[in-house]
Amino acid sequence: MKTGLLLVNLGSPASPDTPAVKTYLREFLSDQNVVELPKWFWQPLLRGIILPLRSWRSATFYQHIWTTSGSPLVAYTQIMTRQVQAALPDWDVRYAMTYGGPQITTTLQAMAQAGCDHTIVVPLYPQYTQSTHQTIIEAAQAAQVPITIVKHFYQEPTYQKLLAAKLQKAWLAADYDAIVFSYHGIPQSMVRHGDPYAQQCAATTAGVLKYLPEISHDQVTTAYQSKFGPAPWLKPYLKNELMQLVELGKRRVLLVTPSFVADCLETLEEDRVQNYQTFRATGGDTLDLVPPMNADPAFSQFLADLAVKANQGGLGNAVI
């Protein structure tokens, strides 16, 4: 018998064409942990208006970022998995996706059949929120095998130091006026109902800056990106924040995205293309991005150490 580790990321369309993107978006946007509207109201709107209009447009974005290895998010998750497996040779290390494949439930069951008597599940999101984690928890528990789920790792000093080192390297490479910590947004209603995400994002920023005393807090701001739908989400919205910085005369901006550990549509298309264009159109000069963890071996080693710690009962945020 051996211990298993399952790394879970969001997922990606199987290909960047419109039918595949439509299939992916239908699954993603049908998740009531993501969109909490009643099904009787949401599903006709989703299938009748949103998917026909959004799928082809999203497909063009995926085509912009697609590589010879496929989806960057999937490719980097695969690299992380291989690196973590090398760091934990006696474990069975695999990956799964919340939407698309490999599926969480069937992968966990396959790992149990392959001899894993207990598996650590690590969602690849530093901060917990219902819209990402709850579906992972439900799918993992549905496998009905022994598991421990790590709910978040934003508070881990090693993670904060790794992110601080990446930020410092980028900060020192050019003369910037401001740093924006941009997190993926969630609806304000989730926070009102007790979701700890906004608090954990603030704690992430504070924790990283603790290791960067040379950076003045006056040069740092926080924003939220990737808003979807008409309901209010966490503010300030990144696009508005970038325009506000230009108005304040801060035209050279460094963007760091702590809620993403791998490059994906949000970092490669939304930030590097769409938000960059908005920033430049309003008078900004430079908008550079600190790369996510991606294939950094140090981050994969952190994930391996985190799994060992969770397996030993050393994490206070795990769900059994």
Determine if residue 266 is labeled as part of a ligand binding site: yes
Determine if residue 247 is labeled as part of a ligand binding site: no
Among 307, 273, 253, which Cα is nearest to 119's? 307
Strand 147-150 versus strand 318-319 pairing type: antiparallel
Residues 6+ apart with CB under 8 A from 200: 126, 127, 128, 152, 154, 155
Task: Please give the structure tokens belonging to residue 299.
Answer: 């981050």
CA 155 distance to own-chain centroid? 16
Determine if residue 184 is labeled as part of a ligand binding site: yes
Is the C-alpha dihedral spanning 121, 127, 132, 138 positive or negative? positive
Helix spans in the chain (H): 18-29, 39-45, 51-65, 72-87, 104-113, 135-142, 157-172, 188-192, 197-209, 238-247, 265, 276-281, 297-311
Strand 286-289 versus strand 116-123 pairing type: unpaired
Among 121, 119, 150, which Cα is nearest to 2's? 119
Q: How many residues does the chain have?
A: 320
Task: Return the percent helix, strand and coil in the chain, to nearest 5.
Answer: 50, 20, 30
Say how far apart CA 235 and CA 253 lie, in whole Å. Answer: 19
Among 131, 127, 126, 133, which Cα is nearest to 149's? 133
Say how far apart CA 124 and CA 140 lie, in whole Å. Answer: 14
Binding residue ranges: 69, 184, 266
Binding residue ranges for Fe(2+): 184, 266
Binding residue ranges for Fe-coproporphyrin III: 69
